[in-house]
Structure 1
Amino acid sequence: MRRELQRRDGEPMRAAARDRTIKVTLIGSLPPHRGISRYVQGLATALAGRDDVSLEVLSFASLYPGWLYPGGDPKATGAATSDVPGGRVRRSLRWWNPAGWLLDALTMRGAVVHAQWWSFPLAPVFLVLLAGARMRRRSVVITVHNVEPHEGGRLRRLANRAVLPLAHHIVVHTEANRAALVARGIGGDRVSVLPMGIAPPTARMDAAAARSAIGLPAGAPVVLFAGNIRAYKGLDDLIQAFPLVLGRVPGARLVIAGQPWGDPSTIERSLRNAEISDAVTARLEYLSETEMSLLLDAADVVVYPYTHFDAQSAAAAEALRHGRAIVVTDVGGLPELVDDGAAIAPPRDHARLA
């Protein structure tokens, strides 16, 4: 009894709490880098806020060479370097420094190493880090954001799959992702499904005020396509479907916003060919979080007409956070984000999409 009372009094109790603390090393990118950085930051903040976790974040000082990122600078223009309150952040990883990878592999503090895996060019970095973790008898968990790379190719697929055998356990965001890994021979007991989730809503601008701020008609129905513009995202299909939308809703507006991964003139040519240029507002450039939030506030519906996809969309989750309706194609985890089957179209089916 005396020992129990001592444990409840001051330092002995705190020592007991420390004994139950799990040391976790979270590997992934953080802002100002783009991609999954906001997701990693949210996860890190949640972990650091737990009393039973001591968190270390191992992140990147230099993520990619520029030629591997056709969407412009891998770092978001004007974005601040973020910290994780309550966690220890090490921005020591550089894509060009294998000696640094090895040093980090040998000095990671976590008994659990949780890697965020999303981009095949980083396979050498993650192979060194996770092999080092296994050699040091750490438990390795990998969250797989892209079961397959967005753009195809045998070498890309091999690089994307290379790190998975190093995991003791794998986390994916959708049942479709889990099924794909199980079909590849990974045991179902090694794969857990944890949906990406939707962050709590924040204060939004009134739709009329948002439209006024970006020069859109106050009463027009607004359809938004936003984010990095890559081939698999199906913008060309949306452009071809939009004349059908205008046939039913003559005053509708299509807003296209994002950084093209390629020649912007191909988008402009598609708009001319579809004869819808007068109904389109296009901002073919990188948009800050503030600018993207304004567009979401102005939209009635946000469209994700992907031709193929093997993940769950953080962009779509952000649209839902803003209270916006979404229309998706039947690929990857996108259908799991909507309740109404009428909001799901087969990929490349322009009539159903409209």
Structure 2
Amino acid sequence: MTPVSSHPPHGQSPLRTVQVLGGGNAGSSAHVRSLAAGLVARGVKVTVCAPVEAECTYDFTGTGADHVHVPRSSDPVSVAALRAACADADLVHAHGLHASFRAALALSGRRVRTPLVVTWHDRAHAEGARAHLLRALERRVMRAATVVLGTTSQLVDGARQTGARDARLGPVALPGRTARPAGPEDPDRLRPKLRAELGAVERPLLVAVGSLEEHRGYDVLLDAAHVWRRLDPAPLVVVAGEGPLRGELQRRIEREALPVLLAGRRDDVPDLLAAADLALLPARRETGRSVLAQEALHACVPLVAADVGGIPELVGDAAELVPAGDAAALADSVVRLLADSDGRDRLRDRGVRQAATWPTEDETVAQVLSVYDELTQPTPLL
């Protein structure tokens, strides 16, 4: 891909952009930092509007961007702060539903229309009255956005159905991945120290990563663990993540004597995956680009994942896909792969090829910048 440069001609002011982030999940926050770094390097002036907690964690100013504290709230004070930060912007780019709604409010009523780009990383789920509220917010945002970038085809289709005038596929790179994977290293590199720490020295290690919430499908994982505990040796399932279901899941693990360890939040997920024999993604829904799936394939770890949402599009034939919510299918696939070293090797090889099709951070920045240029460059006269 030909590099895109936004360095302005001599005497012309640089493009001024504002990146709007709400509380932000880890994926969208890391994407904003990556995007800010790439844009600044290309001569774009970047202001990141985000809660101060996000700045402390992701150091947006360390990329050369400015940071403006805007609380994760849609109250008049927060909207006014965002409106002031966007006053001189050539373009505003919001990430996630709530940040996009605040950006739409902040830009409303202006005499000169400022382009609003929205990246839809995932689709929020709720039930009852909250679901109606979320759908109303989505409609408001889609109508206000100049361009919506959905990270999966499913999100692009959803944006169009919800009223977006211009919705496009805009995949985001896995943060920290600036180059193509070179290929699998030694497939038996199992990081003995980490495996010993976890208690998986002479037994298979299965790893799942993600918040302990209902949509992650960990109840299905525990159902499948009933089958795995009958194996000799029984594999150890390690779940890295925290969330509201920890107590419920832990009680079930103890009551049913399941070989599952809730490891809490980990800052060494790539190492954890590299030590694993298999990675597991039992999600009930996953509309965005799964970070775990990307990390697993980059780490050359065979992946067993639910055939749901954006996962099939993301992994292609490089993962073993099972029906969402089907514990028996999940259990059977894991048992079969643990007994089939050639099958695991095939998935590793396919994973390298599939990961090579994903955009790098540089390519993601170039794609976004091409959208910015399209929306901000004057239309030539015929």
Task: Give the shorter-chain TM-score range.
Answer: 0.7 to 0.9
With over 3 angstroms needed to count, the CA separation of the structure-2 counterparts of 1:18 and 1:28, relative to structure 1, is farther
Q: Confirm whether residue 25 of structure 1 aligns to residue 18 of structure 2.
A: yes
Following superposition, the deviation at residue 17 of structure 1 comes to 4.3
TM-score scaled to structure 2, two decimals?
0.71
Following superposition, the deviation at residue 116 of structure 1 comes to 0.5
* Secondary structure at 1:105 match in 2: helix
- The number of residue pairs the alignment matches comes to 313
* Secondary structure at 1:307 match in 2: coil
* Secondary structure at 1:229 match in 2: coil
Question: Which residue does the alignment assign to 2:68?
Answer: 90
Question: Which residue does the alignment assign to 1:193?
Answer: 169
Letter in 1 for 2:317: D
Please say which of residues 232-241 and 158-167 is displaced more in the overlay.
158-167
Question: Which residue does the alignment assign to 1:16?
Answer: 9
Q: Confirm whether residue 268 of structure 1 aligns to residue 250 of structure 2.
A: yes
Superposed, which structure 2 residues align to 1:73-112 within 5 Å? 79=57, 81-93=59-71, 95=73, 98-108=76-86, 109-112=88-91
Instruction: Give the counterpart of 1:45 among 37, 40, 47.
Output: 37
Instruction: Percent identity, please.
Output: 23
Instruction: Give the counterpart of 2:93 among 87, 110, 114.
Output: 114
Following superposition, the deviation at residue 80 of structure 1 comes to 6.7
Contact 2:240 2:266 in 1 (8 A): no
Following superposition, the deviation at residue 99 of structure 1 comes to 2.6
Superposed, which structure 2 residues align to 1:273-352 within 5 Å? 275-277=256-258, 279-283=259-263, 285=264, 287-290=265-268, 292-340=269-317, 343-352=320-329
Following superposition, the deviation at residue 335 of structure 1 comes to 1.5
Q: Confirm whether residue 149 of structure 1 aligns to residue 124 of structure 2.
A: yes
Question: Which residue does the alignment assign to 1:137?
Answer: 113
With over 3 angstroms needed to count, the CA separation of the structure-2 counterparts of 1:301 and 1:18, relative to structure 1, is farther
Following superposition, the deviation at residue 143 of structure 1 comes to 0.4
Q: Confirm whether residue 207 of structure 1 aligns to residue 185 of structure 2.
A: no
Question: Which residue does the alignment assign to 1:61?
Answer: 52
For 1:15 and 1:127, locate their aligned partners in 2 and report how far apart those are by CA, in whole Å: 28
* Secondary structure at 2:61 match in 1: coil
1:217-255 C-alpha deviation (Å, 9 max, x unpaired): 224221112221110110001110122334456431101
For 2:50 and 2:170, locate their aligned partners in 1 and report how far apart those are by CA, in whole Å: 22
Q: Unaligned regions of 5+ residues in structure 2, if any? A: 1-6, 180-184, 332-382
With over 3 angstroms needed to count, the CA separation of the structure-2 counterparts of 1:137 and 1:124, relative to structure 1, is closer
* Secondary structure at 2:51 match in 1: strand
* Secondary structure at 1:19 match in 2: coil
With over 3 angstroms needed to count, the CA separation of the structure-2 counterparts of 1:185 and 1:83, relative to structure 1, is closer
Instruction: Give the counterpart of 2:224 among 241, 256, 263.
Output: 241
Contact 1:102 1:128 in 2 (8 A): no
With over 3 angstroms needed to count, the CA separation of the structure-2 counterparts of 1:282 and 1:94, relative to structure 1, is closer
* Secondary structure at 2:52 match in 1: strand
TM-score scaled to structure 1, two decimals?
0.76
